[in-house]
Chains A and B, each alone.
Chain A
């Protein structure tokens, strides 16, 4: 009797042990177009992932990276840059840029940024020059996208985040963990900072406006309910600040349409600014419509071709999230599931 008990326990242990991790369906055909979502995961938990969504078929592959590579991409993936059908993924907590074939999801290699490399945002100029902001090194690291090697480090301000390119210059937001108020301008001939421009508090996002100016998003002090942020415009030729739109409720990431409508995340949900006349609608889509748990949106992107607004919903930040799709008037259409903390959304067309 005693041995029977023992034997049964042993058998039970093998049954329980044999449960395996399930994977989503691998794409049967190479991906040619669709939506990629970079899911940050939870810091220190090694649960970043890339989600792929095909709007035409509504197929979702929540674990696009791991289902192909049979391993997790790393810790705290922050953003991706698409270049020549490859995705260069900044994996902050893993101090690397992971290069993946966007058509298959296969990893093509990594760029090891070393201890404290902490990559945040990437820009690739051509097949031999790529740049990434290194949060903990307070620098921009230049790398070679073809050879996957490090070229140089260019010191900028503290805790840099967003990066954009214009006129053979890079424009880097120096967040300084919420205390910063400047952007650094790097000349790509001299590979050094040639100007520092004062903007609003906590600059984090940098992009190009439709008229070729540099558009910088500043979030203000997150610890203060009344702190102001806003969007600032810099002339890339004169390197001077030309305009600004000051906003409350901590403006964050944004998406700009060809019609000059700027959709942006704030504490209330999604706001919208008509840059033609600066008319601002602070609550274009309410936060509770996006995230009925905490009213917080996490990422935003605009599909110009289909005129759809994609908004990342992190739910309570500790479970799988989703992306909700709206039309350009803010009407909810549909959603798809993602992994934890959908932090960045990209449209891919081969």
Chain B
């Protein structure tokens, strides 16, 4: 009965969604470079150089513009960035399966995801499911692998990712796209975008479905993935509106998103266990946000953000595959966000001051096998006041020094069932960089703190019985890095040393046999180096890129000397990761080949090799063909994922698909 009860309590169907956060034992300011349309202002702007995809800032990270070939193939966001340094994508299966990203050995709950200034991490366990968005819905991904100096991302506490859905097309165009692929994959997209009435608009409808009944090899046995089908419909609009109010320019970015997803939740596999779980999930999401910049004067602009997010998930588990008692889960989440920031520019300084407030309500209903309904809810109110001071000085024509200090005072009020808890804490971030433009050389360093407040799942189990009743405290995060970047017209080279340190970490501790509960006893520390070389142009048509990440993510807490997990690598974090990317373009055809290597990943805390995931190399090939007739533009893309049909897992007991094909035909008018 020992582990059965552990399973019952922990809820095992999707590790991240009801997470134990096993992996967690688990940058940069003013990225949004909106261009003014009515006046040129003296504020300093940060330019994105499209070709090289980096940003000149105080922390490492990158801006990834979604290439046309990537938009065509409509892969998940996690797959798009998985080959980048410091990024670890964890997937539980093929198309539509839960996918999370963790950065630099931290858990996925430490990666904050923003869309249009609003945080999208869920209240249940603090993670974001990247399978909800695919590459044809997003124009740009901005990943900040250390401290985020963007004031409107004030509620990040570690790494952050911004998904930018906005497009600026001066001419109207419409796209019709059809897709067919392995394991019953079908896709359809209808998108229209353009510029009318001072507004850039993009309206997108996409529909994807897949059976995902792929064959896999596991433990010398062969199985077929059952109950892994997915059907996902999304509708979104993204508007960039340029207004003139009282003779002042106003930029408004509005985003509206609906998603309806139905899918099976397949079982974990094991020896002799390849059966159908019978578990079904339906998720509906509605989110809307407005991010406006109001230019009050030549040197002052106000940033106002409002957002609303509603998420509902229903899980039916008639065979009790998740735990042995609950037949139905209903999870509802509502959040309202508001942010107000004032930015004042002088010749050398930018001063930002602002507030943000959010109210989140999370409600969980469990219908048990015996008819009993268990309900729990969490109401969370967040308020923070924020101050940022940036200094920018040119010492010589080519020598630019930048520095920023960001301070926030935070107040979080948690109401879990009848229990109330208030947290008050400051956070700070400091960074500086030196840029020698003539040499193409820049160096940066930054340090910052963060606080992670316990999530619903941790609260729920901390107060489950009289045995626990613990007052969970927030985790303390210290995040710093130092790096250098060199760039010329032929390539980009970047080297970074990083550290991500979590103290007072919430870990799951056995109270007695078959009963775990969370408590603040842990510490993890992840440090390492990243080496990145991008777009080495070997010829006019051919370029390559390569990167390597060494991540030493260690558990730094132990109860006794007998604890063999002390100073061991955190589960699922490879010590070594390397990628090679080849890109070839000739007239109307282009190819991209990428290959990513993951070293051995341990599954247990004491790093027993017997129970580890073998090193693996995953390669993908994409080929795109362009053809135009008059005003009709045709694109044909063939994507082959897992080109060499490698048998592998990213999460133990969830085998990934073998070679997958996806053919896309797109017509643009």
Instruction: Say yes or no: is A168 at the interface (Cβ < 8 Å to chain B).
Output: no
Q: Which residues of B contact A (CB under 8 A)?
A: 1-8, 12, 15, 219-220, 268, 270-273, 275-276, 319-320, 324-325, 464-467, 509-510, 512-516, 533, 536, 538, 544, 546, 548, 559-560, 562-565, 576, 578, 580, 597, 599-600, 603-606, 608-612, 614-615, 617, 652-653
Q: Mask for A237-261, Cβ within 8 A of B = 1, else 0?
A: 0000000000000101000000000
Contact for A94 among B273, B544, B604, CB less than 8 A: B273
Q: Which residues of A contact B615 (CB under 8 A)?
A: 16-17, 19
Q: Which of A297-324 contact B (CB under 8 A)?
A: 298, 315-320
B121 to chain A minimum Cβ distance, whole angstroms, is 24
Q: Is there an interface contact between B270 and A46, defined as CB atoms closer than 8 Å?
A: yes
A119-152 interface (Cβ within 8 A of B): 120, 135-136
Which residues in B have their C-beta under 8 angstroms from that of A92? 3-4
Decide yes or no whether A333 CB sits under 8 A from chain B: no
Given the complex, which residues of B lie within 8 Å of A219, measured CB to CB? 1
Contact of A9 with B by CB under 8 A: yes
CB distance from B410 to the nearest CB of A (A): 32
A211 at interface, CB cutoff 8 A: no
B contact residues around A200 at 8 Å (CB): none
Give the docked Cα–Cα distance between A219 and B515 (Å). Answer: 14
CA distance in complex: A296, B600 (Å): 32
For B599, the chain A residues whose CB sits under 8 A away are: 16, 19
Kindly specify which of A228-236, A271-279, A339-347 makes contact with the partner chain. Answer: A339-347
Instruction: Name the one of B3, B320, B466, B610 contacting A224, with C-beta atoms under 8 angstroms.
Output: B466
Q: Which residue of B lies closest to A295 (CB)?
A: B512
Instruction: Provide the bound-state CA to CA distance between A315 and B576, in Å.
Output: 29
CB distance from A184 to the nearest CB of B (A): 16
CA gap between A298 and B514 in the complex, in Å: 10
- Once the chains bind, are A296 and B513 in contact (CB under 8 Å)? yes
Set of chain B residues within 8 Å of A76, measured between Cβ atoms: 3
Q: Is A177 an interface residue (CB 8 A)?
A: yes
Name the interface residues of A62-95: CB closer than 8 Å to any CB of B.
63, 66, 70-76, 91-95
- Count of interface residues, chain A, beta-carbon cutoff 8 Å: 74
Question: What's the count of A-B pairs with C-beta under 8 Å?
Answer: 198
Stretch at the interface among A26-34, A37-45, A52-60, A191-199: A37-45
A319:B513 contact, CB within 8 angstroms = no
Whether the Cβ atoms of B562 and A292 lie closer than 8 Å is yes
B12 and A343 contact, CB distance less than 8 A: no
Cα–Cα, bound, A116→B324 (Å): 11
Can you list 20 A-B contacts with CB-CB less than 8 angstroms, sorted by A residue number?
A: A2-B536, A17-B615, A19-B599, A19-B600, A19-B615, A21-B614, A23-B610, A44-B7, A44-B270, A46-B219, A46-B271, A136-B324, A224-B466, A267-B512, A293-B559, A293-B563, A315-B562, A317-B510, A319-B604, A340-B604
Is A115 interfacial (CB 8 A cutoff)?
A: yes
The interface residues of chain A lying within 8 Å CB-to-CB of B576 are 16
CB atoms of A42 and B604 under 8 A apart? yes
B270 touches A9 (CB 8 A): no
In the bound complex, CA of A67 to CA of B546 (Å): 38
Q: CB-CB contacts of A317-341 with B at 8 A, as 1s and 0s?
A: 1111000000000000000000111
Q: Out of A115, A204, A296, which one reaches B275, CB within 8 Å? A: A115
Distance A293 CA – B272 CA, assembled complex (angstroms): 34
Is the contact region of chain A dominated by helix, strand, or loop, or is it mixed?
A: loop
Do residues A6 and B580 form an inter-chain contact, with CB atoms below 8 A? yes
Q: Is the CB–CB distance between B560 and A292 below 8 Å?
A: yes
Closest to B615 in A: A17
The 9 closest A-B pairs by CB, nearest first: A74-B271, A319-B606, A75-B270, A47-B611, A96-B272, A115-B275, A44-B268, A94-B272, A223-B465
On whether the beta carbons of B320 and A225 are closer than 8 Å, the reply is no
**A66 contacts across to B, CB distance below 8 A:** 610
The residue that A12 contacts in the complex, of B319, B514, B578, with Cβ under 8 A, is: B578
A93 touches B563 (CB 8 A): no
CA gap between A247 and B102 in the complex, in Å: 47
- Report the separation of the CA atoms of residues A120 and B614 in the bound assembly, to the nearest whole angstrom: 31
A95 and B272: CB pair below 8 A? yes
Tell me the smallest distance from the CB of B5 to a CB of chain A, in Å. 7
State in angstroms the CA–CA spacing of A70 and B610 once bound together: 11
If A21-B609, A91-B271, A316-B565 are given as contacts, then 18 extra A-B residue pairs at C-beta distance below 8 Å, sorted by A number, are A2-B538, A6-B544, A6-B580, A9-B548, A12-B578, A13-B578, A16-B597, A16-B615, A19-B599, A42-B604, A45-B604, A115-B275, A222-B515, A252-B513, A292-B560, A315-B562, A316-B605, A341-B3
**Are B617 and A293 touching (Cβ within 8 A)?**
no
A110 interface contact, C-beta 8 A: yes
Is the Cβ of B466 less than 8 Å from the Cβ of A225?
A: yes
> CB distance B608 to A339 under 8 Å?
yes
Which listed residue, B513, B514, B559, B564, touches A320 by the CB 8 Å rule?
B564
A341-B2 in contact (CB<8A): yes
For A45, the closest partner residue in chain B by CB is B652
Most buried by A among B1, B467, B548, B599: B1
Q: Is the CB of B603 within 8 A of A223?
A: no
Question: Nearest-CB distance from A42 to chain B (Å)?
Answer: 7
Closest residue on chain A to residue B20 by CB atoms: A318
The one of A17, A95, A115, A222 that contacts B512, using a Cβ cutoff of 8 Å: A222
A21 surroundings in chain B (CB, below 8 A): 609-610, 612, 614
A333 to B250, CA, bound (A): 79
User: Which of B276, B516, B604 has the largest number of chain A CB atoms within 10 A?
Assistant: B604
Alpha-carbon distance between A16 and B578 when the two chains are bound, in angstroms: 11
Is A9's CB under 8 angstroms from B652's CB? no
Q: How far is the CB of B548 from chain A (nearest CB, A)?
A: 7
User: CA of A71 to CA of B271 in the docked complex: distance in angstroms?
Assistant: 9
Chain B residue at minimal CB-CB distance from A113: B272
Contact, CB under 8 Å: A320 / B325? no
**Using Cβ atoms and an 8 Å threshold, which residues of chain A touch B467?**
223, 225
B271 with A75: CB separation less than 8 A = yes
Cα distance, A321 to B609, chains bound together (Å): 15
Query: Are the CB atoms of A75 and B653 closer together than 8 Å?
Result: yes
Q: How far is the CB of B467 from chain A (nearest CB, A)?
A: 6
Smallest CB–CB gap between B154 and chain A, Å?
35
Contacts of B512 in A (CB 8 A): 222, 250, 267, 296
Give every chain B residue within 8 A of A298 (Cβ-Cβ): 2, 513
Residues in B with CB closer than 8 Å to A120 are 1
Cβ-defined contact, B513 with A177, below 8 A: no
Q: Is the CB of A94 within 8 A of B271?
A: yes
CA A74 to CA B653, docked complex, whole Å:
11
Question: Within the complex, which residue of A40, A110, A177, A315 is in contact with B563, where a contact is CB–CB below 8 Å?
Answer: A315
Contacts of A95 in B (CB 8 A): 272-273, 275
Shortest CB distance B569–A (Å): 13
Q: Is the CB of B603 within 8 A of A45?
A: yes
